């Protein structure tokens, strides 16, 4: 069989760099499976579509399989928003928070196997804050709230609403986890609610 010598050099707008050390290879009719998609971290906002590539080489043609957080993805029974494309890539439509995690594609043939991994993070709006009354006086109420899940994106502020039953709603922008509302009328019933915000949206 004929021997072939190969080498690689990189080029830019400035010019071509020096070549690497040459290698001598023997052509073969069999090639172990290899994945040439790079993988890596992927961050998207919810309700977007995501394509995780798993392009491969090999003779015979590799078989592609996927796992999500270590569990095999059965694409026959999994959510119909997830599908395997002809080139082995994984397409996820309208992604939600539970689609986050580590995805691994594996290309396998009779001469070897190769993998690529993606860490998918889906950013969503914050969870609904838990609102508590911590102190009251005859003309004020101190409120505190807790956001259990920021949706993967830091909280940038909240809007506190209060109103007299049947009356006009007053909105106050706050940037802490507590706030005191003053100038309330003693003996009057008030309704309080709060919405927290991140860069993705509002709870």
- Bridging pattern class, strands 31-35 and 56-59: antiparallel
- Residue 7 within any structural domain of the chain: no
pLDDT value, residue 77 = 64
- Residue 51 within any structural domain of the chain: yes
**Is the per-residue pLDDT at 29 higher than 80?**
no
What CA dihedral angle connects 15, 16, 18 and 19, to 10 degrees? 170
How far apart, in whole angstroms, are the C-alpha atoms of residue 185 and residue 10? 76
- The answer on 119 and 140 residing in a single domain is no
- The answer on 135 and 116 residing in a single domain is no
pLDDT value, residue 4 = 87
Q: Are 72 and 81 in contact (CB under 8 A)?
A: no
- The answer on 97 and 142 residing in a single domain is no
Q: How far apart are the first and last CA of the chain?
A: 67
- Residue 18 within any structural domain of the chain: no
Mean pLDDT across the chain:
92
Return the closest-CA partner of residue 34 out of 110, 107, 100.
107
- Residue 2 within any structural domain of the chain: no
**Domain of 51?**
29-123
- The answer on 192 and 114 residing in a single domain is no
Q: Are 178 and 140 in contact (CB under 8 A)?
A: no
- The answer on 115 and 141 residing in a single domain is no
- Residue 93 within any structural domain of the chain: yes
pLDDT value, residue 141 = 96
Please tell me the pTM assigned to this model: 0.77
Q: What is the mean pLDDT of residues 55-76?
A: 91
How far apart, in whole angstroms, are the C-alpha atoms of residue 127 and residue 10? 49
Does residue 29 or residue 111 have the better pLDDT?
111
Q: Are 51 and 78 in contact (CB under 8 A)?
A: no
Q: What is the CATH number of the domain that holds 48?
A: 2.60.40.10
How far apart, in whole angstroms, are the C-alpha atoms of residue 105 and residue 55? 10
- The answer on 116 and 34 residing in a single domain is yes
Tell me the per-residue pLDDT of 66-94, one tens digit each, with 9 for 90 and over: 999 999 998 776 678 899 999 999 999 99
How far apart, in whole angstroms, are the C-alpha atoms of residue 72 and residue 105? 10
What CA dihedral angle connects 122, 124, 128 and 134, to 10 degrees? 80
- Residue 89 within any structural domain of the chain: yes
The domain boundary, picked from 123, 144, 161, lies at: 123
- The answer on 35 and 116 residing in a single domain is yes
Q: How many domains, the chain?
A: 2
- The answer on 95 and 44 residing in a single domain is yes
The domain boundary, picked from 108, 123, 138, lies at: 123
- The answer on 186 and 106 residing in a single domain is no
The domain boundary, picked from 87, 106, 123, lies at: 123
Share of the chain above pLDDT 70, in %: 99
How far apart, in whole angstroms, are the C-alpha atoms of residue 118 and residue 7? 30
Tell me the per-residue pLDDT of 142-185, one tens digit each, with 9 for 90 and over: 999 999 999 999 999 999 999 998 789 999 999 999 999 999 99
- The answer on 143 and 118 residing in a single domain is no
- Residue 21 within any structural domain of the chain: no
Considering all CA atoms of the chain, what is the largest pairwise distance in Å, rounded to the nearest integer?
98
- The answer on 147 and 116 residing in a single domain is no
- Residue 139 within any structural domain of the chain: yes
């Amino acid at each position: 069989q004929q021997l072939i010598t190969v080498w690689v050099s990189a080029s830019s707008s400035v010019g071509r760099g020096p070549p690497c050390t040459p290698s001598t290879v023997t052509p073969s009719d069999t090639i172990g499976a290899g994945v040439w998609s790079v993988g890596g971290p992927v961050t998207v906002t919810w309700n977007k579509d995501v394509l995780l590539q798993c392009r491969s080489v090999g003779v015979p043609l590799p078989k592609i399989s996927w796992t999500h957080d270590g569990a095999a993805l059965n694409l026959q029974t999994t959510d119909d928003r997830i599908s395997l494309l002809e080139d082995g890539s994984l397409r996820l439509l309208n992604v939600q928070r539970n689609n986050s995690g580590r995805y691994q594609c594996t290309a396998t043939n009779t001469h070897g196997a190769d993998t690529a991994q993606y860490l998918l993070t889906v950013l969503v709006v914050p969870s609904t804050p838990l609102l508590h009354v911590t102190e009251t006086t005859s003309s004020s109420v101190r409120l505190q709230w807790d956001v259990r899940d920021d949706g993967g994106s830091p909280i940038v502020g909240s809007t506190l609403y209060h109103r007299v039953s049947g009356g006009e709603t007053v909105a106050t922008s706050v940037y802490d986890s507590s706030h005191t509302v003053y100038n309330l009328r003693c003996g009057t019933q008030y309704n309080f609610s709060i919405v927290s915000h991140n860069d993705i949206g509002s709870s």
